[in-house]
């Protein structure tokens, strides 16, 4: 009896990303948007949902929304319309969220990913829509009771809905990193998953390879990092496959990722899904979005990473990996270009930023803006190295110390006593001492033509000078002394 060949399944993934907008005030009231303030200190009748309080639209939030939409190659709606999304939850004091239902601010966009699809074309993921809404408050679950903090209630959000175009957890991971990178160029959000200013829900289904129709999907929530998104998708794809292969049927559901257990569990099925009873927000009139406004926002967009990457490759002749790395973090790329303005040595400066600067960032889990390092200080350090006042080893030591203390390179080099003093007399004396000490061994070997022996002698002099010399300059000096 012929055995049936096992069906090969293809995952289909679409991501919904919520981004908190970094406006000064909330979406519909004047309360400050701020993380970590005393609970319920940033509230007013509007965001507390008190009866009779009326919302007003934050123009800056709409502009940030347009900015995001344009950066994602979206169409921008000709008018703004808000809707009520009704549901009950303790951290939603009004009993509804003001959102956009049938007329999103942005639609029909796309995000190009730095990977290729199966046919070798650059992978593009459609952006179905991006709409404005307000955030809910926070429930703090304690033993026996739940506290509610409404500081976050009313914070402007944009929800970016990606098309069902991703075909693997890895592609989803790349999508998120690329989206975050591009958004970071806009200066509209902190984009911190830890602080909750960037959040992601993942939708996934599988289908037999070649089939057009999508399979039944699960939506996964509680994903607190991009790594979790990838792991949860991997788990969920396996689970779907097992259900199908064992002859079961999948039902559309919403699931929670349990990172400790490494599994998802069902939160609610489609039947239990809330009916949000969307309807137009009667407290807010619709208003027009003039094309002049959209065009002025378009003009204010910075050079986006795809373009910047090409420029870094063409103008600075950087290695592709270095250019991609730098461009991946706008602040770091800006830092790099500020340093270049002071020292026109693109590859040399890149080596430092990609190397030691990045090591410091990783060690401290910090971003470049948090690091006590200015482009001036880095360039000063490279200058000391180039002038032979530091060597490759002491330059790294001084770099580490100056970042630690937030001081200049020369200052740090002096403090650590690492500056190479050009005291030729002392240096010759030291060379003579070493030659005398090793005259029967390394010196004799060197005279007999053994080049390696010179390296040993350089090391000996370096040791006596406690590293305060330039090994490159020492070699010829020692050789001249021996031969002379």
Task: Please give the residue ranges that form the binding site for ligand ADP (CB under 6 A).
Answer: 12-16, 161-164, 203-205, 214, 217
Q: Which of 39, 44, 124, 331 binds Zn ion (CB under 5 A)?
A: 44
Instruction: Considering the complex, state which of residue 5 and residue 212 has its C-beta at the smaller distance from ligand ADP.
Output: 212
Q: Check: CB of residue 105 under 8 Å from CB of residue 69.
A: yes
At a CB cut-off of 8 Å and minimum separation 6, what does 260 contact? none
| 29 touches Zn ion by CB under 5 A | yes
What is the SS3 assignment for 258-297? ECCCCEEEEEEECCCCCCCCCEECCCCCCEECCHHHHHHH
- The size of the chain, in residues, is 484
Q: Answer with the entry of Zn ion, ligand ADP, none that 214 interacts with (C-beta below 5 to 8 A by kind).
A: ligand ADP
Quick note: the x/- pattern for Zn ion over 375-414, rule CB under 5 A, is: ----------------------------------------
Cβ at position 190, least distance to Zn ion in Å: 20
CB of 154 or CB of 215, closer to Zn ion: 154
**31 counts as binding Zn ion under rule CB under 5 A:** yes
Among Zn ion, ligand ADP, none, partner that 204 touches (CB below 5 to 8 angstroms by kind): ligand ADP
Shortest CB 218 distance to ligand ADP, Å:
8
DSSP SS3 for 379: helix
The distance of closest approach from Cβ of residue 105 to ligand ADP in the complex, given in angstroms and rounded to an integer, is 15
Closest by CA to 316, choosing from 295, 339, 294, 297, is 339
Is residue 47 near Zn ion by the rule CB under 5 A?
A: yes
- Residue 454 binds which one of ligand ADP, Zn ion, none, with CB within 5 to 8 A depending on kind? none
Minimum distance, C-beta of residue 239 to ligand ADP, in the bound complex (Å): 14
**DSSP per residue over 439-452, as a string?**
TTTHHHHHHTT-TH
Q: Is 15 in the site for Zn ion (CB under 5 A)?
A: no
Distance CA 375, CA 413 (A): 17
Pair type for strands 75-76 and 106-116: antiparallel
Stretch that binds Zn ion, among 21-29, 100-108, 215-223, 388-396 (CB under 5 A): 21-29
Q: Which is nearer to ligand ADP, 107 or 456 (CB)?
A: 107
Core vs surface per residue 349-384: b (16+ CB within 10 A) or e: bbbbbbebbbebbeeeeeebeebebbbebbbbbbeb
**Through-space distance between the first and last CA atoms of the chain, rounded to whole angstroms:** 91
| 33 interface partner picked from Zn ion, ligand ADP, none, CB below 5 to 8 A per type | none
- Interacting residues with Zn ion (CB under 5 A): 29, 31, 44, 46-47
């Amino acid at each position: 009896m012929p055995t049936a060949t096992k069906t090969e399944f293809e995952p289909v993934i679409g991501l919904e990303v919520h981004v908190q907008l970094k406006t000064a005030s909330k979406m519909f009231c004047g309360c400050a948007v701020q993380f970590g303030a005393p609970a319920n200190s940033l509230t007013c009748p509007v965001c507390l949902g008190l009866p009779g309080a009326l919302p007003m639209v934050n123009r800056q939030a709409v502009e940030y929304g347009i900015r995001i939409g344009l950066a994602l190659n979206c169409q921008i709606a000709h008018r703004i319309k808000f809707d009520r999304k009704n549901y009950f939850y303790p951290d939603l004091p009004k009993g509804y969220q003001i959102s956009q239902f049938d007329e999103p601010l942005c639609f029909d966009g796309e995000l190009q990913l730095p990977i290729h699809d199966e046919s070798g074309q650059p992978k593009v993921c459609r952006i179905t829509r991006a709409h404005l809404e307000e955030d809910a408050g926070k429930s703090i679950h304690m033993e026996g009771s739940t506290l509610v903090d409404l500081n976050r209630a009313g914070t402007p959000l944009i929800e970016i809905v990606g098309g069902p175009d991703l075909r693997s957890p890895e592609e989803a991971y790349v999508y998120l990193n690329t989206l975050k990178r591009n958004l970071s160029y806009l200066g509209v959000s902190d984009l911190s998953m830890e602080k909750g200013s960037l959040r992601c829900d993942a939708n996934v289904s599988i289908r037999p390879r070649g089939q057009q129709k999508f399979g039944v999907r699960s939506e996964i929530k509680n994903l607190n990092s991009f790594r979790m998104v990838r792991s949860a998708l991997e788990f969920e794809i396996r689970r779907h496959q097992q259900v199908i292969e064992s002859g079961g049927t999948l039902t559309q559901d919403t699931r929670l990722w349990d990172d400790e257990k490494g599994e998802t569990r069902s939160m609610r099925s489609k039947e239990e899904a809330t009916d949000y009873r969307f309807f137009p927000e009667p407290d807010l009139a619709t208003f027009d979005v003039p094309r002049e406004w959209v065009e002025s926002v378009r003009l204010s967009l910075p050079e986006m990473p795809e373009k910047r990457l090409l420029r870094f490759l063409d103008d600075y002749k950087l290695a592709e990996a270095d250019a991609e790395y730098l461009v991946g973090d706008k602040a770091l790329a800006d830092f790099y270009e500020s340093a270049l303005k002071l020292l026109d040595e693109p590859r040399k400066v890149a080596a430092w930023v990609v190397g030691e600067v990045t090591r410091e960032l990783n060690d401290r889990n910090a971003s470049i803006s948090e690091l006590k390092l200015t482009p001036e200080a880095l360039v000063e350090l490279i200058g000391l190295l180039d002038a032979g006042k530091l060597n490759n080893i002491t330059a790294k030591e001084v770099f580490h110390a100056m970042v630690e203390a937030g001081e200049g390179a020369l200052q740090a080099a002096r403090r650590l006593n690492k500056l190479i003093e050009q005291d030729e007399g002392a240096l010759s004396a030291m060379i003579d001492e070493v030659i005398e000490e090793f005259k029967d061994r390394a010196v004799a070997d060197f005279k007999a033509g053994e080049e390696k022996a010179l390296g040993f002698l350089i090391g000996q002099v370096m040791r006596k000078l406690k590293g305060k010399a330039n090994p490159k300059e020492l070699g010829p000096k020692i050789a001249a002394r021996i031969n002379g």
